[in-house]
Amino acid sequence: MRRRGVAFVGMACATALVLSACGSDDEESGSGGGGDGATGTVDVGILTALSGPGAAAAQASIRGAEARFAAYEDAGEGCAGDLDFNIVEADDASSTAGALTGAQKLVQQDEVFAMINVSAFFYGASPFLTSQASTVPVFGGAWDGAEQWSAADDNLFNSGFVPNYETVYSAQGEFLAEQGATNVAGIAYTSPSSQGGLEVAIQSIEEAGLEVSYTNNSVQFGSTDVGPLVLGILDSGADAVWTTINFDTSLALVAGLRQAGWDGVFVSPTGYGADLLASAPAVQIGQGVIFSNAFTPVEAGTEATEQLKNALIEHSDNESGIPGFYESQGWFGADLFLYGLEQAGCDATQEELISTLQETDDWDGGGLYPTPIPQSTTEYDEQCSFYVVLEGDGFQPLNDGEPFCGTPLS
């Protein structure tokens, strides 16, 4: 039976991520692909941007995946006593063609046992992975928009909710109304996921009784040439901006708006994390910007967030332990893989891992998600996000640290 869940929305678009090896070169690899059970050192591929405009932002995902595996091995629990984990990288070249080439490399050349996706261009590789490489389990965020994430009987396992761009939820519009917005501008990249995310957000905003006076969904990926966007927003009289773009573009946009004297509500799906806080100019420009987040912010101080924070501090160069978007995506992809392996058995084959996860709906990211992320359905009773605002040199949770949720609109 298909079970409805809760969609936790932290973004509608993103770039890719980068990976480096998580094991020494002289270790013997006991299991790659080929249907063998997991033994020895397990090769886990990651598809991400090593080149192109997505590469700079994607670097943080290396920390997330490596920190999760390192913390797991240090704990010595579950399968850690039997297995070691080695990360194998592949470049999506910030393009759909590159994503396909990278996935083919991981499967056919590297023969990885499993794969983590943190690529905004994964939709270029997903048809290959669900057909010719259907025995390789793939873990990652479904925010690239690939339709294959919606299937409950294939080898793709989502480490967050699966966006449904045909369903409009009340959450976005109600949140902006609560922030005092009356006139909204919407900005998106040219990617299908970014455009789809903005489209449903606009419908939600209009259903809440707010005006949408300016939209632009043709921004080039990673662009910081925002002069025309700034003029368009200012001319429209918008007092709020809703984006489905990465924060490098958003930061340039905020800077241009602030310079022009604009003082409205700005919401970004990415940017929360240590990388922003490490840049004094970014902190100064980003004051008052609101960031959405799919998982509980570390500022909440829960047991799960403390474990994540401490793992990043100990096993990476993230001194604050606040995970950014790409960092969190690397972490969650690795965590879902480890969870599935424990459920299927530490010596499980790829096929056993896939069949086990197809029947599993109780993974919650180790408590980082307030409710489990189902693998058996993409129909959700609620859509929820956490929101934090940049104040001073840190992030402050909104809504008393609780997720802000909305229901599907008819």
Is residue 256 within 8 A of residue 227, CB to CB? The reply is yes
Q: How many Cα atoms are found within 13 Å in the side-chain-facing hemisphere of 186?
A: 26
Q: Which domains does the chain possess?
A: 14-161+300-373 (3.40.50.2300), 171-293+383-406 (3.40.50.2300)
Q: What is the pTM of this model?
A: 0.84
**CA–CA distance from 321 to each of 28, 67, 401 (Å)?**
32, 11, 18
Contact 265, 289 (CB under 8 A): no
Query: Could you list the pLDDT tens digit for every one of the 410 residues in the chain?
Result: 223 345 555 443 333 322 223 333 333 444 555 457 888 999 999 999 989 887 877 777 888 999 999 999 999 889 998 999 999 999 999 999 999 999 999 999 999 999 999 998 999 999 999 999 999 999 999 888 788 998 989 999 999 988 888 889 999 999 999 999 999 999 999 988 899 999 999 999 999 999 999 999 999 987 889 999 999 999 999 999 999 998 889 999 999 999 999 999 999 998 999 989 999 999 999 999 999 999 999 999 999 999 999 999 999 989 899 998 889 999 999 999 999 999 999 999 999 999 999 988 999 999 999 889 999 888 888 889 999 999 999 999 999 999 999 999 97
Residue the block writes with tokens 């104040």: 391
